[in-house]
Structure formats: structure tokens, C-alpha cells
Amino acid sequence: MLSKAVLLLGTASAVKLGDQLGNVTGTPTWKYLLFDHDGGLAVIDTSGKAVWSCSSCGEARDLLPSGHIVTLEPSTGLVEKDATCADVKTAGTFTADGHEARIDSINANAVVGITQQGCAKQTIGCQGIIHWDRSTGKETMPIDLGNYFNATTDWGYLSSTSDWMHTNCAGTGSQ
């Protein structure tokens, strides 16, 4: 069902609880609205006031079944944050890039991401798909894209020696 409301958001750099972030008119069909805000996340109620925010929430994000958020921080990697925005668990084996932090659709205890540490057997830079099992803390790179493609024949229009493939999305599923 579409909301019968109009939302105009302001652009404040830091969000504090109670800040008026938006002007909601009409009758919204939602109680709370979560959105990206200045490199973090913010939640407003139907009056447009901030009821929750997390300014250090990384780039890509997904919501875990527990209500925690899994995100990635470029200098750290994949991170699980609780409702207070505090780090709960961190996977630091691979430095994740800013494109993906997605809950594994087959195993809800796992997270899928992308790292720039692929092409281990080549002299060119590319991505790999990383998999973090939050229950064991183990992080692996099950797919190194450099093992499946050849830089001398699979060169794209936007390829460069530092970013051959520029992978933007990763996920899991069953056939």
C-alpha cells in the first residue's frame, strides 16, 4: 500500500533525538521511516522527528533478524552493530569495499560482502566475494573473481589495472 503522505527531508549533518528532520503532510501508512542520512542512518516518526540515529553506520547495510544492523566500514570490514550503534562483532580478515553487506539468504547467521583483495593469482586488481559466518567468526573468500575470468580476454570498457571488474553486488540463493 502506498503512503498517502508527502515527506520533505532537511539536511542536517548530525542527528540528535527529537531533531525535526522532515515535514510530513497527509496520512502516512508507516509508523517509522528509516533512511540514509549524511553517511549514517536515521529514523523519523510520522511527525518528522528523529527517534533513532547511527552516524557511524558504514556504507552498505542490511538488517539482521535480531534487529542489529550489519554494515561495512572501509577501514575495518564487515561489522555488526546493535541498537545503540555500538560494534558487537567485527570481521577483519578482508577489507570490504563500499558496495555490499548483505544477509546470506541461505544462512541468516552469515553475511556476504565484496573485497578488493581478489585476483590473488594475477598482477591486476579485482574483487572477491567474502562470506562471514557470524556464529563462528570465520570470514572466507569463496569466490576470487580472478580465478574465473582472464584479464587479457575479459577486459571491459571501464576496466583499469587497479579496478578490472568493479563488482557492485553480491548475494546468495538456491537453484
Question: Domain residues of the chain, as ranges?
Answer: 4-54, 61-147
Indicate if the pLDDT at residue 131 is higher than 50.
yes
Higher pLDDT, 125 or 7: 125
Indicate if the pLDDT at residue 116 is higher than 80.
yes
Q: What is the DSSP letter of 146?
A: G
Q: What is the pTM of this model?
A: 0.74
Give Cα 128 to chain centroid, integer Å: 16
Indicate if the pLDDT at residue 16 is higher than 70.
yes
Q: Using alpha carbons only, give the angle 109, 111, 117 rounded to the nearest 5 degrees.
A: 145
pLDDT at 156: 78
Torsion of CA 68, 70, 73, 77, to 10 degrees: 130
